[in-house]
Chain A
Amino acid sequence: MNKTLLGYVPNESPIYAVHPFVKLYFMLIVSLFPMFVSAPEWNIALMLVIILFMWISKVNMETLKIYIPVAVSMGTIIFISYTVLGGTHPEFELLARFAGINFYWERIRDALVVYFRILPMIFTMVFFLNTSRERDVIVAMRSIKMPFVVTYVFAMALRAAGMVLEDFQIVRQAEKARGYDPAGKSLPYKIRQYVMYMVPLFALSLRRSEDFTNALVARGYAFTGDAARVKRADYILTHYSYKYFDYIFIALISLSFIALLVLRYGFGYFVMADSWLLRLLHGWLS
């Protein structure tokens, strides 16, 4: 198994054959697709395609469960925002009135459009995080000639995040060893407890900064001066090469995006008015 940013993916997954830049490109471009699509059925289809890609890549589909509460709470927020807090609009079609709240068709429609725009954007990000190892992200960034200091800060930040999580676990275990158990305590108590974690976590990280700095300087790294202007060999990139299918994927992603824009703005596809799903729903609700 290989550890990715969100979980583990088996060594034999076909996703490792794809150049990291392609994965980054996919995430950056495909995340834009829903912004140009109003008809929910197309965004649902995109979401299903991404789930299919995850399955093909042998991603552990259990990680998607983490995002179920996010999807539910987000849907609820959007729905409330568009309906309960949607205001009074006599120009809209009133479907129902309940407890003094007006439920308009246009608001429900807009809420659905927005919700199914956001979901595939989230899934695209989840797909990227699930299939990219830390090294892949660095390689992708170096492939697009991002300055080394930027990629290195990113890599160090990921290391630091891992260390903070470890420190957090150690502090909690030390407390448990002393017989402290936060279960069942009130929220204000837990918040106060959280404050008590923050101080040592910060202190540990500050002390670590000195050690890391010494290690970097000892390895000849410099941020200023001539040493900082040394041309780096980028050894990490030697392990990754573009294959013919990487170019095909990049072309497919680019052409899909162009086709989307042409169909949307040239021929009026993907708009709400043409959505059979919305028409169906409208029929049910009215």
Chain B
Amino acid sequence: MSKIIEIKDYSWKYINTRNPAIHDINLEIEEGSFIGVIGPNGAGKTTLAYSINGLIPGQYNGVKKGTVNVFGKEVEAYDTGSLQKLVGVVFSDPEAQFTAMTVEDELVFGLENIGLNLAEIQKRLDWVVELTELEPLLEKPPYEISGGQKQRVALAAVLAMMPKILILDEPTSMLDPVSRSRIFKVLARLKEEQNNTVIVIEHSLENLVPLADRMVLISEGTVALDDNTRDFFQKGDLLLDAGIYPPGVIRFFHELHRKGEYSGDYPLTVKGGAKQLRVMKGVRDKDQ
């Protein structure tokens, strides 16, 4: 698969700060992959996300070193508005993303910005409304819907633009567990039906881990760990030292490993964990 994001020796220092927010970043992302980016608060995850979609350095003043290439072209080389057709971003605060009078207007806003005609707008609107189950909310103004609904709208508004790369910056941080699960259901469906490259920055790993092909740990402004999901979570001690708490099932098997009770790959889901326990029980029964 081709590499659509290539970041080489990249660092960014915001103006009036002493140290770079991120430094020595080397990252390559292949088309169609689902990447989870995790790290403690202030590690530089959002800065990295903004660097990929051109908000940095477009909207921020600072000092940049290295290169960030998207589809083979430096982000600064894209004309105003053209990179955003390729890279969509969903931000963490649903309140700050809503700029229109109604949900429907919000979904359509981006499509008008990229110059689509009415027929194409209608087609995409119908598709994204069905995907995100927003039909009952279309006529509602932003202040009449819940936080979870707003975030679904924000996601739908970006999806409607059909970006090749979708970045979600802590999309569920302000949501309750049910709303969080709904967002990830949409992402799961997206992964199944489309070939988008998805980068999700999250703290809630329970929902992210089953979907992610690859995980990246950002710590103290740099990439501390970058591996496929299964191998990533094998490094339990490193993750815990970095302040990352993997999903419960992974922590359980990591504890078993530390006590010498388990030596295999850590299952990533509860279902996988139950299966592994049945296997372990089967082995024990046989031994007895």
Direct contact of A and B (CB under 8 A): yes
Residues on A lying within 8 angstroms of B by beta carbon are 3, 133-135, 138, 155-156, 159, 162, 208, 210-222, 224-228, 230-236, 238
Name the CB-closest residue of A to B90.
A218
Q: Which chain B residue lies CB-closest to A218?
A: B89
A218 x B91 contact (CB < 8 A):
yes
- Determine if B97 and A227 form an interchain contact, defined as CB atoms under 8 angstroms apart: no
Given contacts A220-B161, A230-B115, contact A135 B101 (CB under 8 A): yes
Chain A residues contacting B117 (CB-CB under 8 Å) are 233
Contact with A along B236-278 (1 / 0, CB 8 A): 0000000000000000000000000000000000000000000
Min Cβ gap B143→A in Å is 7
B99 at the interface (CB under 8 A from A): yes
- CB proximity of A53 to chain B, nearest CB, Å: 24
Bound-complex Cα distance A57 to B72 (A): 59
Whether B96 pairs with A212 at a CB distance below 8 angstroms is yes
Q: A12 CB to closest chain B CB, in angstroms?
A: 15
Q: Which 7 A-B pairs have the closest CB atoms?
A: A227-B81, A211-B96, A220-B113, A225-B80, A219-B110, A230-B115, A222-B81
Once A211-B96, A225-B79 are accepted as A-B contacts, the answer to whether A220 and B118 lie under 8 Å apart by CB is no
Query: A230 to B81, alpha carbons, bound, how many Å?
Result: 10
Whether A211 touches B89, Cβ cut-off 8 Å, given contacts A220-B110, A232-B112, A233-B118, is: no
The answer to whether A219 and B84 touch (CB under 8 A), given A214-B59, A225-B79, A233-B112, is yes
Chain B residues within an 8 Å CB radius of A232: 112-113, 115
Chain B 54-70 residues near chain A, CB threshold 8 A: 54-55, 58-59
Residues of A within 8 A of B50 (CB): 214
Please tell me if the beta carbons of A226 and B80 are within 8 angstroms of each other in the complex.
Answer: yes
Do the beta carbons of A217 and B101 come within 8 Å of each other?
no
A2-B111 Cα distance, complex, nearest whole Å: 26
A135 to B91, CA, bound (A): 25
Q: Chain A residues with Cβ under 8 A from B158's Cβ?
A: 218-219
Specify which of A138, A156, A224 is in contact with B99 (CB 8 Å cutoff).
A156
B79–A135 contact, CB under 8 A? no
The answer to whether B84 and A217 touch across the interface, beta carbons within 8 angstroms, is yes
For B109, list chain A residues within 8 Å (CB): 219, 221
CA A173 to CA B112, docked complex, whole Å: 40
Q: Contact: A135 with B102, CB < 8 Å?
A: yes
* B105 and A220 within 8 A (CB): no
B116 touching A217, Cβ below 8 Å: no
Q: Cβ of B171 < 8 Å from any Cβ of A? A: no
Query: Is B108 interfacial (CB-CB < 8 Å)?
Result: yes
Known contacts: A159-B99, A220-B85. The answer to whether A235 contacts B59 by CB under 8 A is no
Considering only CB atoms, which chain B residue lies closest to A139 in the complex? B101
**Distance to closest chain A CB from B59 (angstroms):** 6
* Interchain CB contact under 8 A, A235 and B100: no
A220's partner among B98, B102, B114 (CB-CB below 8 A) is B114
Smallest distance from the beta carbon of B77 to chain A beta carbons, Å? Answer: 14
Q: Does B88 contact A (CB under 8 A)?
A: yes
Apart from A220-B84, A221-B81, A230-B114: 19 A-B pairs, beta carbons within 8 A: A133-B101, A135-B101, A155-B100, A155-B101, A212-B99, A214-B59, A214-B96, A218-B55, A218-B84, A218-B88, A219-B84, A219-B158, A226-B80, A227-B81, A231-B115, A232-B112, A233-B115, A233-B117, A238-B118
Residues from chain A with a CB closer than 8 A to the CB of B157 are 219
Chain A residue at smallest Cβ distance from B114: A220
In the assembled complex, the Cα of A218 lies from the Cα of B53 at a distance in Å of 8
Judge if B82 is at the interface, Cβ distance under 8 Å. yes
Q: Of B54, B79, B118, which one neighbours A227 at CB under 8 angstroms? A: B79
**Chain A: minimal CB distance from B144 (Å):** 8
Question: Given A155-B101, A220-B110, A226-B79, is A215 in contact with B96 using a C-beta cutoff of 8 Å?
Answer: yes
Residues of B with C-beta under 8 A to A231: 115
> Cβ of B93 < 8 Å from any Cβ of A?
yes
What distance in Å separates the Cβ of B55 from its nearest Cβ neighbour in chain A? 6
Chain A residue nearest to B60 (CB atoms) is A210
B44 to chain A, nearest CB (A): 17
Q: Which residue of B lies closest to A211 (CB)?
A: B96
